[in-house]
Amino acid sequence: MTVAVDTVRDLDSGVTTVRLDGELTFASAAGVRTALNKCASECPTAVIVDMTGLEVAKPALLAVFATAAQRAAVQWEVALLLCCVRPDIAGMMSAFRVFGEVYGSHHAAVAAVRGWTPRWRHQRFPPLPTSAALARRIVAQACVDWDLPTLQVRATLVVSELASNAINHAGTDFHVTISYLGRYLRVAVQDGSTALPPLINDLPGDPAAAESGRGLNIVEAVASAWNAVPTPAGKIVWSLFRADSHGLLDGSGGPRREHPDPQDVVETLACAAAVTGEYSPLLRNLSDREAEVLRYLPTMLTTGEIAADMHVSINTVKAHVRSIYSKLSVSRRHDAVFIAYERGMLP
């Protein structure tokens, strides 16, 4: 039996709701984990998991939600909230410390998100040439209001390209959303076309090439990450910009926004190993600092950015990385991440 995953993205609140229906088994757990990680990577204001129709074959399978919550908090600073959990399943969750309150209804979970008032703006535009300039204006103003001066140029450039694509290729009304949760600024444009504009190289000698037609090449060049997500009525193209230390939020005022303690991560990964049965003793051999560095490796961060986030020197991070490579018997970051996932060392 599989678990049906229904994802709903609310542009008005910025909340992504994932509704699960079916039986969570060893076979279906991987698909649920992938769906939750994908939703969190889009940096919504929160991910709410509606478990009304979910049955759980074994208590250990709930580690899927524990590790997804850890990863969402650590990598994206996105809160993952659970709601509508059956009483028997709620009792099974007591073993996982990462879960705070489990909400009785979807409405209660949404109200909790509204209570900590994330930085989120949304506006709808008609498919007119002037709309691109208006989209740039609201993104630029958001960067000013949220004290993100270093991101203003890149963010406005990207929203200009995405808005122009919506105007010229989709020809429908489009929505622009901007959010800032503390680690990343997210800029997204949703339109009514399912077709993704291609990556287009500038054509030498074409006068228009300097002004337009650069498409997603611009997004790829200046954003920290981007992707396109199909929706029932079209698509959302989103991009992320990592904030520097000047603009980082303090993490207060939101549910489960803090960085988990490295030891909590290790313990949670150990619980997650019950799902795969592949928990490696290598994880126990990592120091607390090495375990902390390991969870950064799947991200897009450079060694320098990891060092800044951990408040240590670059050489310290490099030393930990070398030790991790040695213990995993690999020589490349990509291979280390692959082995860590395969052995249950990463959620």
pTM, two decimals, is 0.60
- pLDDT top residue among 323 and 26: 323
Pick one of 3.20.20.70, 3.40.50.920, 3.20.20.80, 3.30.565.10 as the CATH number of 119-242. 3.30.565.10
pLDDT by residue (tens digit) across 69-116?
A: 877 877 777 889 999 988 888 877 765 555 556 889 999 998 888 776
Report H helices in the chain. Answer: 26-41, 63-71, 87-92, 106-115, 129-145, 152-165, 215-222, 262-276, 282-285, 288-294, 303-310, 314-328, 333-342
Q: Which pair of structure tokens corresponds to residue 249?
A: 């939020």
Determine contact, residues 4/22, Cβ cutoff 8 Å: yes
Topology alike, domains 1-117 and 119-242: no
Return the closest-CA partner of residue 10 out of 226, 253, 188, 267: 188
- Domain residue extents for the chain: 1-117, 119-242, 278-347
pLDDT bin (cut points 50, 70, 90) of residue 302 is: confident
In CATH terms, the fold of domain 1-117 is: Transcription Regulator spoIIAA (3.30.750)
The reported pLDDT for the residue numbered 176 is: 95
Q: Angle of helix 314-328 relative to helix 303-310, nearest 10 degrees?
A: 110
Side-chain-side CA neighbours of residue 191 (13 Å)? 24
**pLDDT over 90 at 126, yes or no:** yes
The reported pLDDT for the residue numbered 327 is: 84
**pLDDT over 50 at 277, yes or no:** no
Q: Which pair of structure tokens corresponds to residue 71?
A: 């990863």
The owner of tokens 């105007």 is: 167
**pLDDT over 90 at 131, yes or no:** yes
Q: Which of 8-22, 63-77, 188-202, 231-245 has the highest average model confidence (pLDDT)? A: 8-22
Return the closest-CA partner of residue 41 out of 63, 12, 9, 13: 9
pLDDT bin (cut points 50, 70, 90) of residue 173 is: very high
What element of type H or E holds 7?
Answer: strand 3-9
Calpha distance 331→234 (Å, rounded): 42
pLDDT by residue (tens digit) across 41-74?
A: 887 889 999 999 999 888 878 878 887 887 787 7
- pLDDT top residue among 303 and 343: 303
Cβ-proximal residues to 122 (8 Å cutoff; 6+ apart), any chain: 11, 12, 14, 175, 176, 177, 178
Q: Which of 79-83, 249-253, 340-344 has the lowest mean pLDDT?
A: 249-253
CATH code 3.90.850.10 for 278-347: no
Return the closest-CA partner of residue 80 out of 93, 65, 91: 65
**pLDDT over 90 at 135, yes or no:** yes
Beta bridge partners of 56: 24
Q: Which pair of structure tokens corresponds to residue 114?
A: 């509204």
- pLDDT top residue among 203 and 228: 228
- pLDDT top residue among 131 and 296: 131
